[in-house]
A and B are shown apart, each in its own frame.
Chain A
Amino acid sequence: MRIIGPDELIFGVDDLDACRAFLVDYGLDEVDRTEGGASYHALDGTGITIRKRSDPSLPRPLPTASMLRKTIYGVEDQETLEEIAAELGKDRDIIREADGSLSCRDDLDFALGFRVTTRRKLDLPAEMINSPGAKPGRPANVLGANQDAEAKPRTLSHIVYFVPDMERLTKFYIERLKFVITDKFTNTGPFLRPQSNFDHHVLFMIQTPAYMQGLEHLAFHMQGPTELMLAGSRMVKKGYESFWGPGRHKFGSNWFWYFNSPLGTHVEYDADMDLHDGAWTERETPMSAEAAQLFLFENVEKWAPGGPPPGKQG
């Protein structure tokens, strides 16, 4: 089933202004703004839509604190959409929306949508590095450090759900939508990728009590570790709350930096995630701090050497 990954996440929020300020500072571009909300796009057109919590056009909320109202997956073509409609239509109502997309709920009641993807194909350079023994990534006189680099999120990368029954939901995504497990944290949850995406994961789950069900975090891919650090350090400087990072995960190998957000979920920058195909064999390990990251840092104020030696100030 040729599903690519999340195209759009829709939230119902109380404070549109706070969400707007956060998402624009995070680096997304505001589009289609009205009194009732707006959308915020990464460079390829994937992104986040916010509406007032009471907006009657939104799917009903979960009975928890989660503000996520719908996850819309992009698929390759109309044929895939029809394939999904036929499969999921066997045991649930499928709504065909005016824009041609499909709507339903998954086996744990998360609202789902599917549409022929609206993402644009990106043609952008990777982060270029110079490494002894390797051909230079940047030719002579091309600089690596640019304080003013835009550092914009390129594409919606992945989402992580808190779920009351990970076995059941994993089964749904694997058997009905043909997702594949790449790796798994025992008793926590699996990393999943759909058929038309080689990214290590577009969906991860964390087993929790039912009252926690919702969105643990969402993430966008950045150009590379340098732009991730630059974008994150700008967020800290603006007063946003760094929650975890910067660091680098083990499963997926992606660099990460998570922030709290007025959308009531963590919003992550990620970069340089592993790609996998059908030749990969899944790994499994218990969740632990050691397993969750290769290393972890914390942002501090900028500093420079120089000036009088310690104890001689003034």
Chain B
Amino acid sequence: MSVAQRHKAETREIAEPLCRLEDLVDGRSRGFDPLGEGRDTMFVVRRGAAVHAWRNHCPHYDRARMAWKKDEFLDPSGERIMCFAHGALFDIASGECVLGPCLGQSLTPVEIELRDGLVRVRGKYAPGFRR
């Protein structure tokens, strides 16, 4: 990914599926970079047949990145989404902050679709890289 390519990222529909459902480990999170910006700008959490998808932006700082390492978006119990910038905890299904610096705020959802065993982003997807 060159710098020139990354800066071309613009809001558009994502034709390619993110992955297959079976690629996602139950109870775990995984980051994605649908526009090829060079960083994961969204992540999903699989719980059984359900997949929850959120933008990789903690609401308490502008575009704050949340994981502590590639694909690590959950607290150690696996029961909450955690922002490893300052420890905020979020409900996995509703995205609501339950403890920490963004209490009363919520994560930004990404609309996804599960069809034919594939996970797809629905509608237009905006870049997430801070520029």
Q: Which residues of A contact B (CB under 8 A)?
A: 14-15, 18, 22, 64-67, 162, 208-209, 211-212, 214, 216, 238-243, 260-262, 264-266, 300-301, 303
The residue that A241 contacts in the complex, of B3, B69, B87, with Cβ under 8 A, is: B69
In the complex, A238 Cα to B71 Cα: how many Å? 12
Nearest CB on A from B75, distance (A): 7
B81-103 CB contact bits vs A (8 Å, 1 = yes)? 01111111100000000011101
Q: Are B87 and A264 within 8 A (Cβ)?
A: yes
Q: Are B87 and A239 within 8 A (Cβ)?
A: no
- Most chain A CB within 10 A, of B60, B64, B72, B87, is at B87
Q: Are B101 and A208 within 8 A (Cβ)?
A: yes
Q: Which residues of B contact A (CB under 8 A)?
A: 1-3, 6, 38, 60, 64-70, 72, 75-77, 82-89, 99-101, 103
Nearest CB on B from A231, distance (A): 16
Known A214-B87, A300-B3; contact A240-B69, beta-carbon cutoff 8 A:
yes
Nearest CB on B from A213, distance (A): 9
The residue that B99 contacts in the complex, of A64, A266, A301, A303, with Cβ under 8 A, is: A64
Known A65-B89, A240-B68; contact A264-B101, beta-carbon cutoff 8 A:
no
Q: Are B76 and A15 within 8 A (Cβ)?
A: yes
Residue of B at shortest CB range from A262?
Answer: B68
In the complex, A306 Cα to B89 Cα: how many Å? 47
Q: Are B99 and A260 within 8 A (Cβ)?
A: no
Known A65-B89, A65-B100, A211-B100; contact A243-B76, beta-carbon cutoff 8 A:
no
Known A65-B86, A264-B86, A264-B87; contact A18-B68, beta-carbon cutoff 8 A:
yes
Residue of B at shortest CB range from A66?
Answer: B87
Please report whether the interface of chain A is mostly helix, strand, loop or mixed according to DSSP. Answer: loop
Residue of A at shortest CB range from B1?
Answer: A301
Residues in chain B near residue A264, CB distance under 8 A: 82, 84, 86-87
In the complex, A262 Cα to B86 Cα: how many Å? 9
Residue of A at shortest CB range from B69?
Answer: A239
Residue of A at shortest CB range from B60?
Answer: A212
Residue of B at shortest CB range from A68?
Answer: B87
Q: Are B103 and A211 within 8 A (Cβ)?
A: yes
Residue of A at shortest CB range from B101?
Answer: A212
In the A-B complex, the 6 residue pairs with the smallest Cβ-Cβ separation, listed nearest first, are A264-B87, A65-B100, A65-B87, A239-B70, A15-B76, A14-B76
Residue of B at shortest CB range from A211?
Answer: B103
Q: List 10 extra interface pairs beyond A65-B86, A266-B86, CB under 8 A.
A: A211-B100, A212-B100, A214-B87, A239-B70, A240-B68, A241-B84, A260-B68, A300-B1, A300-B2, A300-B38
Nearest CB on B from A191, distance (A): 20
- Most chain A CB within 10 A, of B38, B99, B100, is at B100
Residues in chain B near residue A67, CB distance under 8 A: 87
Residues in chain A near residue B76, CB distance under 8 A: 14-15, 18
Q: Are A261 and B84 within 8 A (Cβ)?
A: yes
